[in-house]
Structure 1
């Protein structure tokens, strides 16, 4: 009895489900193997959106803005409510004082003799202070808080720009190592074929056996170089994923940055708007604002005072002492208005020392600014020279590659025909390998040099414009 096909044993519906499952697996595998296109602009967007360190800098900006809001609340009057329930002696001195500064108010009548008998009492107060006149102190504190926001924003912009440079540099390096790996793969195939030729000739006695060992060594060397390229590629892919704030993927990078030289639109630019210089400028302004706040802190402060309070006392109008809790409820209501002025005369020496300290710090920051500006300008000048040199190198690289390829083919034919030796063939192979690597690296180095100029000028627009025809 012949066995029925599997489709009939499983049933029509089951067979269709299995078929669909197999198709899904094949499609999923194909989708996983399919490279994910990743342009440089998209990589920069992902890094700006996902990188945790930049998100932390954004939170620092929010913290600084809350500092401005907190400074504005210092303009509001204070309003304090307090309640006291007391039990104490009846000795006191007459008078009514508002609790301003360090004054301790005391009230009541002066007793004829000291008494240590106690009674209950209470006081409920509603007290307010408002300083409408600060002689510029409030505005100075507000300006300092706003400058702190500007520093935080400039710090975020500088870190974001530095992150863009790091992402672009890693992107270009990964693109170069991917192409270098392909070159090394071709070199492995080439030396493998060469090893087969050498093996055939030595087997037939046309070449000495030592040539086989040399050929095997070249094959092993080419494979080791390929493995090193694969390792470098894996590390760069992980590094790029970390900078993007995501997991490593099989990205398909933009090959234009490895096959085309940058155009000449990058020649006119300067470092005046560099984020690093902007951060240093904001730091100087913050120091100057802090100096202004210190100077104005020596000025007096005028405050409007107002209060109302209710007293409860266990001492009657005739001087009798109520021994119970009848003195706890308030039985007298009072109010008072006043103007207070505070001025710490002896603060001058302390504030003057702090002002001198901040002035020296401002001078130090200005020197740092000039140093950074000098270094950035020199980097721009160096990048311009290297870009011109890269253009000249790019003109000679194809000539070298064509000549090396012809020389290798000729040496291979000569060796195969018994007219050449392995030393000359190995040298030709080395020259061809170097020419292919030079052709690859010159273009990448041109973009890396343009990136170094971008890092010195602080503007990415020329970098992307250099890709246009």
Structure 2
């Protein structure tokens, strides 16, 4: 509270009594906090809302399911394939003997060579059933299976890391919203205090007890105080909107738990837990190595078991007779065949080697990024510890600063009341009090921000709740 014990005990003018009374009212009003409208929200509730409602986390979950579906698809490659086909054609019967190499699209022309060229057409048909199974792939199938599982592991690690990152974003925005709400309350108190002070100074200036320039300075101070309040309100609205976006809740106003503005966290040692970001980096390395293995094993041969049956019909008989009707469309000859096939591309080695080298270099790049991430997390942990120590020291100094600023403000008011100080002196003391009040309300919040930084470096978000768990 403001004290006027430093005033002289002599005769006090009516203007000075008015100044004392109005300043006392301003002090009382500055300690009253206006209620904040908004839905009460604890940090755990915010994190749960983000986990279940954030669309981009749902997108990550779908990517994990897609990776699992890819594994199921890879398993089906062990199954044999059976292809059925059939056609009925109508065309000329001129046949030409000879050999053709398999390139492009080839229309087969089989049969004995005809005596002359004829464009007479007959019906023909062909129906086939071809089965192929590759029980021996010399490691190609296991490599593809390992790649699919590595892709699933990467998708899951990506989802876990995104969830952890989202938790950090939510907690950061949550604490930022608390800080901006505290700043807004400080600005509201300051606006009320400055308004009363301006009114008093203006009355004194009108009564000739103070120069007119004092009232002008008071109006400027009031305008500046209101601008600071508008800026704080704008920041609060921005944090509200950002938090609603992170929680997947459109157009909601939140009231976070003020515990993080009133309670300092104790010093704790973060647990040694696997970091989601490092886990994601390691999964990316594993996936790159699996891809390289698949590429290298593409050069290996593939052993296949083959089986087929087919039937054929033709309007051209074995004796050269021609049936121009639909009778040629019915199959008249049936065949079957079984065999073993081996496919090996002898000259594919340079291409495979080039692809494998490119994939290996990408994997080495991922390993370098992994080491960089380790370095950054280590330095972040050191920085978080230093910030906690500084936050503890700030918590000790902030009340001393506030008490000194209040006393300095009261003294300047008393001197101004006695005509021994100018309005500029009062304004400077007012700025010092504003800064001290701001530092006081942000002390605990800054400490929790440091704990959040520790949590981000540790990779275990449960550590953040350890200090406040009953």
TM bin, normalised by shorter chain, reads 0.7 to 0.9
Q: 1:63 to 1:268 in 2, by over 3 A?
A: closer
**Alignment partner of 1:234 is 2:224:** no
**C-alpha contact (below 8 Å) 1:284/1:366 kept by paired residues:** yes
Separation of aligned partners in 2, 1:233 and 1:287 = 44
Structure 1 residue 394 displacement after superposition: 0.5
Question: Hey, what does 1:432 align to over in structure 2?
Answer: 433
Q: How does 1:383-422 map to 2 (within 5 A)?
A: 383-422=384-423
**C-alpha contact (below 8 Å) 1:311/1:332 kept by paired residues:** yes
Residues 41-78 of structure 1, C-alpha deviation per residue, up to 9 Å, x if partnerless?
Answer: 11111112222222222222222222222222222111
Q: 1:200 to 1:323 in 2, by over 3 A?
A: closer
Structure 1 residue 415 displacement after superposition: 2.4
Residues 316-336 of structure 1, C-alpha deviation per residue, up to 9 Å, x if partnerless?
Answer: 344433232222111222111
Q: 1:268 aligned to 261, 270, 278, which one?
A: 270
Q: 1:130 aligned to 129, 133, 149, which one?
A: 133
Q: 1:112 to 1:315 in 2, by over 3 A?
A: closer
Instruction: Please provide the CA RMSD for this pair.
Output: 2.5
SS at match of 2:78: coil
**C-alpha contact (below 8 Å) 1:177/1:229 kept by paired residues:** yes
Structure 1, 126-135 or 242-251: larger mean CA deviation: 242-251
**C-alpha contact (below 8 Å) 1:129/1:303 kept by paired residues:** yes
Structure 1 residue 241 displacement after superposition: 1.0
Q: How does 1:172-251 map to 2 (within 5 A)?
A: 172-251=175-254
Consecutive unaligned residues of structure 1, counting only runs of 5 or more, are: 1-32
**C-alpha contact (below 8 Å) 2:94/2:117 kept by paired residues:** yes
Structure 1, 243-252 or 343-352: larger mean CA deviation: 243-252
Separation of aligned partners in 2, 1:114 and 1:299 = 49
**C-alpha contact (below 8 Å) 1:91/1:115 kept by paired residues:** no
Structure 1, 244-253 or 255-264: larger mean CA deviation: 244-253
**C-alpha contact (below 8 Å) 2:93/2:316 kept by paired residues:** no
Structure 1 residue 206 displacement after superposition: 2.4
SS at match of 1:246: coil
Question: Hey, what does 2:294 align to over in structure 1?
Answer: 293
Q: 1:337 to 1:114 in 2, by over 3 A?
A: farther
Separation of aligned partners in 1, 2:422 and 2:319 = 133
Give the TM-score, by structure 1 length.
0.86
**C-alpha contact (below 8 Å) 1:197/1:416 kept by paired residues:** no
Structure 1 residue 456 displacement after superposition: 2.1
Separation of aligned partners in 2, 1:113 and 1:301 = 44
SS at match of 1:80: strand
Separation of aligned partners in 2, 1:112 and 1:205 = 130
SS at match of 1:155: helix
Q: How does 1:222-371 map to 2 (within 5 A)?
A: 222-265=225-268, 267-270=269-272, 273-371=274-372
Consecutive unaligned residues of structure 2, counting only runs of 5 or more, are: 1-35
